[in-house]
A and B are shown apart, each in its own frame.
Chain A
Amino acid sequence: MRRLIPIALLAFGTLGAAPAAAQEIVSGISQDVIQITSNYTGTDIVVFGAIDRIDTPQNRNIVVVVRGPDTPMTVRRRDRIAGVWVNSDAARFTGLPSFYYLASTEPIERVAPPRALARYGIGADYLLPAGVFSHHDPQPFRQAALRHLKQQGLYAEMPGTIDFLSETLFRTRVPVPANVTRGQYNVEVYLFRDGEVVSAQSTPLFVDQTGLERRLFNLAHNSPLIYGLACVFMAMLLGWISSVLFRRPV
């Protein structure tokens, strides 16, 4: 957080010094890397920016979208068979982001017509999966996926959470929960005027494990035998130590 202020000043400073001609919106993020360490329990990033033309708030809207890397999703439905709940039917979706956070000045239905929202993938309901694999109607499965993602805090839509510090400066706080996937995220900032995107900017954000966590994860996947031996050795060592420490008298 301490790093935020100088970066913010720097961003605004360059904006004032060299006004980009066509760019009507300039934005930045408080940190471009989120490092998952052993005590990582989620964090907040701050997305901030400035618009260079003063409009009336009525026709102008800002939408901030943070998208995680795409991940395949499998939704299963349980049915009662002989009294026991069994996974019976499934649908698979590909090309949906593993994390989706949206902040906007207004509820998105009031920002733009559905067609424009679908084109930019703004709003969880307007996200289109690249592939759908299902034997039946995938709609209920898709809705169930969205419901679960929202419950797990991986998808969220927060209209009205963009604060204006002045008529042109804005910022919003994006909570990144503990259960996010590692990879490249994109922070997208859209400026809408009368339902049309007039300016947009995208900034990458990297989420990665670091230090010991990263080494352990890599070891588990790259040298699983050594990793497994390490687990076994650790267990045997602790078992042995305890039997020595607690040795007689019972």
Chain B
Amino acid sequence: MEIYLPVAEMSVYWLLMVGLGLIVGFLSGMFGVGGGFLMTPLLVFSGIPSTVAVATTLSHVTASSMSGALAQWRKRAIDFPMAGVMLVGGVGGTLVGIWLFALMKKQGQMDLIVALSYVIMLGSIGVIMLRESLATLRAYRSGAAVPARRVNHPWIHRLPLKMRFRQSRLYISVIPPVAIGFVVGVLSAIMGIGGGFIVVPAMIYLLRMPTNVVMGTSLAQIIAVSIITTLLQATNNYAVDIVLALLLVTGGVVGAQLGVRAGAKLRGEQLRLLLAILVLTVAVILLWRLVASPADVYSLYLGPAA
């Protein structure tokens, strides 16, 4: 059963796409991430042009983050002023990212930049998570107390423009949250990700936000960034395919809910170990595709130059 995608202008097996949404949704629900970093490469592997894959994945991110954020909102675990401040940087980052996206499309280096950013981001995050989770697991086995590392960032406290964030019990400069938002906005536009796997560690380790508000706040910020990026991709690059988005989202939201239940049965460090392995696997596959000799060194693009 194939269905025609009006913007990608190609046919896909619709069950395959719903299944893809289901699997990625399951993993994202289980690990508490948006899943964009898995969705974009998987769509590209299944033959969707990378511009459409990047732009359409964001709808999946919006939906799965929405689902998670509502649960957090009921628990009053969202720091809206913090999400708002990060969003200021996020909007700037998204605009820069969309501009870079169009520039790379013109230069013909889109696929390379997307793949390289993925390899670098996923490779480094994967290695950090793997080491951290293995260390925690080892400490847990040997019965030793897990050392709570409390690194201070005095430079962060010396920055101007301080603001009080009641829910996070913080009085810090707005510059670090704006900067984090900016970086995530750029990545969101180029890679089609929400950026949860960057925002969450940044909130915990850089901003020192209490963990109970981190998840909800990052989800709220991701929803906003993914919405803005979707709108910009739709208006600037005409790359969002609503039929593909519907297929992915339908599978994704169901998968996410099932994933949350599955995740509840595992311990945090076990989850992080599994996520680290998953992230590294995607990074290695993408790296392999960059360095392996292609079957044909020539590629063809039909249509007017972007």
Contact = CB atoms under 8 A, between A and B. Distances in A.
A33 interface: no
Contacts, number: 185
Contacts of B302: 71-73, 98, 181
A24 B4 CA distance: 41
Interface in A21-68: 36-41
Contacts of B297: 77-79, 85
A38 B256 CA distance: 27
B303 A83 contact: no
Interface residues of B, number: 62
A90 interface: yes
B179 interface: no
B270 to A, nearest CB: 18
B63 A236 contact: yes
A85 B294 contact: yes
Contacts of B293: 80, 85
Contacts of B70: 239-240, 243
Contact of A84 (B230, B290, B296): B290
B5 to A, nearest CB: 9
Given A239-B70, A250-B264, A220 B234 contact: yes
A231 B245 contact: yes
A128 B238 CA distance: 31
A179 B67 contact: no
B296 A144 contact: yes
B111 to A, nearest CB: 8
A39 B256 contact: no
Nearest to B228: A232
Nearest to A91: B298
B136 interface: no
Contact of A235 (B2, B63, B298): B63
A112 B242 CA distance: 49
Interface stretch (A2-10, A118-126, A164-172, A221-229): A221-229
B281 interface: no
A149 B296 CA distance: 13
Interface string A201-217: 00000000100011011
Nearest to A42: B11
B50 interface: no
Interface stretch (B152-160, B169-177, B199-207, B246-254): B246-254
Contacts of B256: 242
A90 B249 CA distance: 37
B299 interface: yes
B284 interface: no
Nearest to B56: A231
Contacts of B304: 72
A220 B60 contact: no
B133 interface: no
Interface in B215-272: 223, 227, 230-235, 238, 240, 242-243, 245-246, 249-250, 253-254, 256-257, 260-261, 264
Given A217-B7, A220-B6, A239-B62, A231 B242 contact: yes
Contacts of A221: 238
* Most chain A beta-carbon neighbours within 10 Å: one of B2, B63, B250: B63
B300 A148 contact: yes
A5 B246 CA distance: 40
Contact of B234 (A140, A224, A240): A224
A72 B71 CA distance: 50
Interface of A: 36-41, 71-80, 83-87, 90, 92, 98, 140-141, 144-145, 147-149, 178-179, 181, 209, 213-214, 216-217, 220-221, 224-225, 227-232, 234-236, 238-243, 245-246, 250
Given A73-B301, A239-B67, 12 more contacts: A38-B4, A78-B297, A147-B296, A178-B10, A220-B234, A224-B235, A232-B227, A234-B242, A234-B249, A238-B249, A238-B250, A246-B257
10 contacts: A73-B302, A78-B299, A84-B116, A87-B111, A149-B300, A225-B231, A228-B240, A231-B242, A235-B230, A239-B63
